Amino acid sequence: MNAIELIESFSEFKEMRNIDRVTMMSMLEDVFRATLKKRFGTDENVDIIINPDKGDLEIWLNRTIVEDGMVEDDALEIEYSQAIKIEPDFEIGEEVSEEIKMENFGRRNILSLRQNLAAKLMELEKENIISVYKDRVGEIVTGEVYQIWKREILVLDDEGNELVLPKHEQIPSDFFKKGDTIRAVVSDVVVKNGSPVIVLSRTNPAFLERLFELEVPEVFDGLITIKKIVREPGERAKVAVESYDDRIDPVGACVGMKGSRIHGIVRELRNENIDVINWTSNPQLLIQRALSPAKIVSMELFEEESRVNVYLKPDQVSLAIGKGGHNIKLASKLCGYEIDVYREGAEDIDDVDLDEFTDEIDDWIIDELKAVGCDTAKSVLELTPEELVKRTDLEEETIAEIYRVLREEFE
C-alpha cells in the first residue's frame, strides 16, 4: 500500500465523521508517531508531512552522522559510510534526513494504523457529543423516533446522534411510532460503559418553560419572567409569572387572545391543564391565587411550620382540591406551604351535595346516583346498599367505597 492509497483510506473516516482538515491531519500525525515510536523507540527526530487533500504523505528520519563503528542508536545516528551514499558532501557531525517509504511499514502496521485512527475518531466523536450536549442541558431538541423499547425510546437528532427518552421521562399519555418527530428537553448527559448517553425529558419543568419561551415572545425577550413551575405531567401544571413592566399583563400575554398561545403548549403536553398565575411575594395572596379557581373565605398561616389552614364555602372545596387532588398538591408545591382545607361552618352542615365529592368519586358514578334521585350525601346514605345495587348498575364493591367516603364526611 503506497502513501496515496493510505491517505485515501483514511479520508473515508474524514467523510463519515465530518471532521475538519486540521483535526484530521493532527490525528493522522499522532497515529503515525505512535507507530514510529514503537519501531524506533522515539519520534523526536522524525518529521511527518501530511496533505490529506492531495494524498501526500512523507516521513523523514533525521539522524546525526558519526564515525563508522561508533553508532550507539540506529534511530538517532548513522555511519559516515552510509551517509555519503545518500549525499557525497556530508561530513561527520552533520544531520542527515532520510525518507522512510510507506512500503517499509508492512501490511500489519498499516492495518494497525487504521485501527488506531478509527479508535481516535470514535473517542473524538464521543467527546464532541458530550461537549455539545452538556452546553444544551435545559434546551429543547427535536428528533426522530428511531427505535421503541419497553423502558425507553431511541431518538436521532439532525446529525444522527443517538438520544434516549426513558419511560419515566415521558408524559403518561405519550404515544409515539417509529418515524415520528418528537420534542423534548435535554435533562442530563451521562457516560455509561465509556459511551455518552444523552437523556431527554418531557416531564421536566424546564420543558414547559422552554415551550413558553417558544410560544410567548415576551417570555423569550425577558419582559415576562417565569418564577416557578410545578407539574403533574399530563394532568395539571401551575406556572407563576411576573412582569417588571406595568404595561404588560403577564397572565394575559402567556395565555394569548382566546388562549391562542397556550393552546399550542397544551397540545404538546397531551392536554395537560395549565394554570398561569401572577407571582407575588405575599404568601397569603400567592396561596389564594394558587388555589384558583376556588375562592377562599379566610386562612390561618403558620409560617414557622410552613403550614396554612384554608377555609372555603362547601361548594368551593372540590374546586380547591381538584380532580385526583392535583390542584391542592400543586398549589402546595408552588407556595411552599402544606395546605389543609376546611369547610367553613362544617359543623352546621346538614347535608352535602354529591358534586363536592368529585375528587374522591368518579363523575360517572355521581351521574349514576343522580339518575336514581340521589343528589346529596345523606340521600344516598338513607338507602341501603342492597337498594342501590338493585336501582343502579354499580357493583357492590363500588357502593361500599361510596358509603365509606360519604360517612367520613359526617364523622
pLDDT, tens digit, 9 for 90 and up, residues 66-123: 888 787 777 677 887 887 877 787 878 788 877 777 666 667 776 777 777 777 777 8
Residue 10 confidence (pLDDT) above 80: no
Q: How far is CA 94 from the centre of its chain?
A: 62
Tens-place pLDDT, residues 155-167: 999 888 899 999 9
Please give the model's pTM, rounded to 2 decimal places. 0.65
Res 149: pLDDT: 94
Res 21: pLDDT: 62
Quick one: pLDDT band at residue 347, thresholds 50, 70, 90? Answer: very low
Quick one: pLDDT band at residue 348, thresholds 50, 70, 90? Answer: very low
- Tell me how far apart the alpha carbons of residues 9 and 111 are, in angstroms, rounded to a whole number: 11
Q: Which residue has the higher pLDDT, 385 or 187?
A: 187
Q: Looking at 3-17, 254-268, 282-296, which range is the least confident one? A: 3-17
Report which DSSP code applies to 353.
Answer: B
Res 63: pLDDT: 81
Q: What is the three-class DSSP state of 134?
A: helix
Res 1: pLDDT: 44
Q: Which residue has the higher pLDDT, 305 or 16?
A: 305
What is the sign, positive or negative, of the torsion defined by CA atoms of 124, 118, 13, 61? positive
CATH of region 206-345: 3.30.300.20
Q: Which residue has the higher pLDDT, 124 or 275?
A: 275
Residue 338 confidence (pLDDT) above 90: yes
- Tell me how far apart the alpha carbons of residues 36 and 41 are, in angstroms, rounded to a whole number: 7
Q: What is the mean pLDDT of the chain?
A: 84
Res 180: pLDDT: 95
Looking at this protein, which amino acid is placed at residue 192? K
Phi-psi region of 248 (alpha: psi -120 to 50; beta: other; left: phi over 0): beta
Angle between helices 3-17 and 21-40 (to 10 degrees): 130
- Residue where the block lists cell 352535602: 352
Residue 394 confidence (pLDDT) above 90: no
**Does residue 214 contact residue 220 with C-beta atoms inside 8 Å?**
yes
Averaged pLDDT for residues 211-239: 95
Q: Which residue has the higher pLDDT, 371 or 163?
A: 163
**Domain definitions of the chain by residue range:** 3-131, 138-203, 206-345, 350-410
Q: Which residue has the higher pLDDT, 76 or 362?
A: 362
Q: Topology of 138-203 in CATH?
A: OB fold (Dihydrolipoamide Acetyltransferase, E2P) (2.40.50)
Q: Which residue has the higher pLDDT, 10 or 122?
A: 122
* Residue 115 neighbours by CB distance under 10 Å: 11
Q: What percent of the chain has pLDDT over 70?
A: 86
Q: What percent of the chain has pLDDT over 90?
A: 40
CATH of region 3-131: 3.30.1480
Residue 6 confidence (pLDDT) above 60: no
- Tell me how far apart the alpha carbons of residues 91 and 108 are, in angstroms, rounded to a whole number: 37
Residue 255 confidence (pLDDT) above 60: yes
Averaged pLDDT for residues 129-151: 92
Q: How far is CA 338 from the centre of its chain?
A: 30
* Residue 92 neighbours by CB distance under 10 Å: 13
Res 103: pLDDT: 62
Quick one: pLDDT band at residue 27, thresholds 50, 70, 90? Answer: confident
- Tell me how far apart the alpha carbons of residues 212 and 221 are, in angstroms, rounded to a whole number: 11
Q: Show the DSSP H helices in 195-325 as ranges.
A: 205-215, 217-220, 250-255, 260-268, 283-290, 314-321
